[in-house]
Chains A and B, each alone.
Chain A
Amino acid sequence: MRSDRIVIVGAGPAGMRAALVLAGAGLNPVVLDEAPASGGQIYRRQPRGFTRAYDKLYGFEAGRARALHAAFDADNRIDHRSGTLVWNIEGRRLQTLHDGRPETVEFDRLLLATGAMDRVIPFPGWTRPGVYTLGGAQVALKHQACAIGRRVVFFGASPLLPLVASQYAAAGAEVAAVLDTTPLRAKLAAMPGLLAGGKTGWKGLVYLARLAARRIPYRHGITPVAALGSESVEGFAYTDASGRRHEIECDAIAFGYGLKSEWQLADLAGCGFEFDAGNYQWQVVADEAGRSTVPGVYLAGDGTRIGGAELAEIAGERAARAILTDLGDTGQGAALAACARRIGGQARLRRAIERAFPFPAPLARAIPDDCILCRCEAVTAGEFRASIDRLAPHDVNRAKAFSRVGMGRCQGRICGPAAAEILAAARGVEVKEAGRLRSQPPVKPVPVAAFADAAEDAA
């Protein structure tokens, strides 16, 4: 068993914790991550030479981040290969670009801990310079000590909304307003669940309080209208809960509607998928210990089920223990059960968060015809609807073939959720009936030049 090659893709909390558990059992896991350093999204590290302290960077999460970074860095049984993009899976082989050069990594067992990205709904003007995702705005701050503009409007429905806005304010950026698309009554209805959820549930309130203390307006039940301006953002227009239109002057906008799993590699590995009603998105099927439907392929973290960093870390441990069990270690039962209990204990909080920040599907269905839907191929919502009317595609893959929506370089990561809603609306069905965009290798663009150099080396 000890010679099994175990490869983990993703060095976020899920992948790091899994690697630590496996290393603790005497194994030597390989950890691949595209990023230059471990940490993933939430515990993303700043580049060398930056000097901000942990509590400045990670706030409430500073202790956890420091502990995880330190343990991971100290463990020399972990073979962490940063700067490694995994762009394809063929059988038991991963195809990677390591510092821009193609390499093949073989595995016997694979843990996919590929994390998540922002889920967005296009709105008029969203391709203009100055409009970013909430996560993107946070990366600018955490990783680069920059704000995305001088005066920023934050909007959407996402746990990141109050968080990133208050991080911006604390770092000295001007926050023009925080505008939540969720109606106040929905937020209030979710409150008991949030408050029962322990520390994590309370954090959200702390962010709100901090925003209030700085007299930053926080509005509920808004509907975005447009990013104003020509060459770049000059303002944001929205309607309030009573339908009245407002305009705010700003030079940057950050928005998002929760997170969306990065499951392309799981798709290429052949894993099964299911539509998760709570998260309102397709997720990879995992059993109670994190095994996918493909033998030898395991799952953990936000790439499998959106749940946040704390859950990701537990799920990482759980998957590692499932691997150990499958390798013949019979002593993992109690620890696995403990993981299951901890994960189960967060279920109520998770549902409350889903309810507090619901995906506003009607907004996606109502994207105006002249608004760009697919920013890779510059296809408007109207063009997409026209192709649906004309060619009557049954699912998003057909719709993509007819319209090029989802065919561009992001492979539908950005426009996919909204496109599925528009198709579902046109067909008069629930969004899950519109299907799921199939992934194609490479999961991210790979430069032709990288292969050329490899071919020269081989010759």
Chain B
Amino acid sequence: MKLIMCAGPPTSGKTTVLRQVARRLLKKGRRLAYLKIDVQFADEDELFRNEFAIPARKIYSGDLCPDHASVLVLGDAVKWAEEEGADLIVETAGLCLRCAPYIVGSLGIVVLEATSGMNLPRKIGAMLTLADIAVVTKIDLVSQAEREVFRANIMDATRIEVLEADALRGIGIDRLVRRIERAEDVTMPLMLKGSPPVATCTICVGKKVIGWEHHFGVLRKLDTDLFYRGE
């Protein structure tokens, strides 16, 4: 089975892209299952169930980073999709800018909107650098020049395949579908691509006092020289 992991900032167009993709893949006779991992609200499962009559679920990560939640639940989800005889499409919340949900052997898609700031590609770390393809949506809302400069900013952040789309009208989606059709099947055991930089600290266990002097474990002062490239 194929595993498609789709991440991207809120409202970047992940669902819109995946609906266009699902419509085309189902028409070609592929079977699909859909899982949304979000923090505290999502309705995409209903949307995919109603529109395509495919098995669809959601899970809320609550107090966990959604990409950490994904590591925990994805094993079960893959079994579930396998029982359904379907490829699995996972849409994640993409809120944690340190972690990335991509799995070795899965097809990692990051969805970015052309309307976001020019520096976005430099801000989102592993969500972009560990993906296999970047899909740039909302190209109908910007000029060609801006679209090309946005592409340059992605390429400056990482060497990655970039596809541009007007996801509302389904323009540019066929190329993504061809890329998905070429993706390999995942093999067990599933392994996360990057190591998420998270540490258990006194804040994690509930200490709320502000100021590094009150904490121990992983500490950071204002003048720390921080550098983090997202993998």
Do A and B come from the same complex? no
Residues of A that sit less than 8 Å from B by CB: none
